[in-house]
Structure formats: C-alpha cells, structure tokens
Amino acid sequence: MNKLFLSSSFVDVAEFLEPFLGEKIKDKTITFIPTASIPEEYKGYVENDRKAFEKLGLIVKELEVSTASRKAVKETIEKNDFIYVSGGNTFYLLQELKKSGADKIIISEIEKGKVYIGASAGSIIMSKNIKYIEKMDDKTKAKDLTDDNALNIVNFYTLPHHTNEPFKNSVEQILNQYKNQIELIPISNTQVIQVEGNKTSIIGNK
C-alpha cells in the first residue's frame, strides 16, 4: 500500500508525521535527497527540514543524486526506512532523478510499502506530469530534461505554497489555468496531503 506524506514545507507539518505513521520513528533512518535545491539561490528550507527530522529522532542519511553513483543511489534508497525529497526546482529534480535512476528505485520502494515524504518539488514529482508547475519553477534550469513525465504515483497534482509568499501569485495563475484540466490539490505551508492506498486526506491549517 502506497503511503505518502506530501507537504509544501516539512518543518511546518513535522508534528503530523508520527501520528500518520502510527509507530515510533526515533532512531529510524531516512534517505534525505536535497537535490532540487541545487539551482536555487535560497536553500534555507532544506536545513530547516533536516533539523525537523533530527528533532523527531530520525537518523538523516543525505543522498545527493546528482553526484552519487548509481550503486550508491540504489543502495541508500533501498536500505533506509523512509525517503524524503526536498523542495527546490521541480524540473531540475526530475532531470537528476531520471539521470541517476533514482526515479525508478523510488517508485519501486513506494510500491513495496516504504513511506515517502515530499516537500514542495518533492511532492509535485509524485504526479503524472509536472508541466503544470512552469509558472512556479524555471524550466531552463533543467537543460537535459527531455519530457515532463514524472513518477506517476498519485492521480492528482499537488500545488504547494497556496496563499504563501513568494508563490501566492504563481499558485493563483496555475489554479486559473489548470483547474478545469487536471485535479489540482492546493495546500498551504501548514497543510499536508496524506495518502494511504486509495485514501487521500488533507490535514493542518490553511
């Protein structure tokens, strides 16, 4: 059963993780993939999320898929208890996941029941295609990305940072452009989409 915790900003919804999992997570390991942040000027959110995981008692194992070997990518993702993919540029993230083969390994691990935690870009890539996010993320940062097809784990399209600056205007533009074409689920920084098999729920405050 697929089990996903899809956020805009993990640090803002960290309190909901353990209740969602229904188990103690202290001393468990998490593969921490910060790759999406590489082309971004501001990266503070990555460190904030890392500290939030450590505060929960998780052992953070960083995996930079853009530089790690294919062997390291496979072994790290398969070995650790949970998978986390940070925010940043969604197009660059997808490019590097495909290049490294991490996309297929993540899909396989999710299908086996491993819990996946996403923040912003890390949540968006669970959709079938990421073209809808062009107004939020600069596609030119991913020169080697040949198509926008993503991991296709969920049948909806996460739209993070709803009502939050500096993305408020771009989120509204995306909503207006795509609301009648695809199933968008907008969430604020203090909300999280929880997926368990066929059940999807949103918790937190708008």
* CA–CA distance, 125 with 20 (Å, rounded to integer): 21
Helix axes 102-111, 90-100, angle to 10 degrees: 90
Question: What is the C-alpha end-to-end distance of the chain, expressed in Å?
Answer: 28
Contact 32, 81 (CB under 8 A): no
User: What is the pTM for the complete model shown?
Assistant: 0.97
Question: So which residues are the catalytic ones?
Answer: 120, 161
For the stretch 136-152, pLDDT in tens is 999 999 999 999 999 99
Segment 32-86, tens digit of pLDDT: 999 999 999 888 899 999 999 999 999 999 999 999 999 999 999 999 999 999 9
CA max distance for the chain: 44
